[in-house]
Amino acid sequence: MIRLSKKLLYAIEAVLDIAYNAGGAPVRSAEITEREGIPRRYLEPVLQELVRDGILVGIRGPSGGYRLARERRRISLGDIVRTVRNLETGEDPISDPAGSALGHEVVRPLWQELEEETMRRLDSLTLEELCTRAHRAGIKGRVTEGGDFEI
């Protein structure tokens, strides 16, 4: 089940920060912490999981940091949500066998439909679109609009 948590919000903000500010250079986690105010204890484990899931690439060394693993237009919010959902350990109430017939036959199926609709919407929203929204909102980035991905 999708649950809006600090970890999820921070993950989205961190990946968006990288997409919006990276240009050709990797973004250090300290920069993300400074710009976004995300505590490092939340940030580092999430960034590492995003690397494992192929959303980010981690670059070691003094000029290292993180960059997108693919183009902004090819990373959706749904990708980020799935990664963070795998990190969170709470029980899924939908799969709990306890409950009434109304809950099992009406409420839970409805909730699953709503979650599927939400995931479809999140899958349709890309980092490219969020970067465009940030630009329209007048948020200054470290680099100008343009290149977001290098091989």
Q: How far apart are the first and last CA of the chain?
A: 35
> Length of the chain, please?
151
**pTM for the whole structure:** 0.85
pLDDT tens track for 61-101: 888 999 999 999 999 999 999 999 888 766 777 777 777 88
Asked whether the beta carbons of 68 and 20 are under 8 A apart, the reply is no
Confidence bin at 36 (pLDDT 50/70/90): very high
pLDDT of residue 148: 47
CA distance 145 to 132: 9
pLDDT of residue 102: 92
Dihedral of CA 48/50/54/60: which sign?
Answer: negative
CA distance 110 to 117: 11
Q: Among residues 69, 49, 60, which one has the least CA distance to residue 7?
A: 49
What average pLDDT does the segment 8-19 reach?
A: 96
149 has a pLDDT exceeding 50 = no
Residue 112 φ/ψ region, left for φ over 0, alpha for ψ in the -120 to 50 degree band, beta for the rest? alpha
> Nearest 5°: CA angle at 80, between 117 and 97?
55
All domains of the chain in start order, with CATH: 6-136 (1.10.10.10)
pLDDT of residue 150: 45
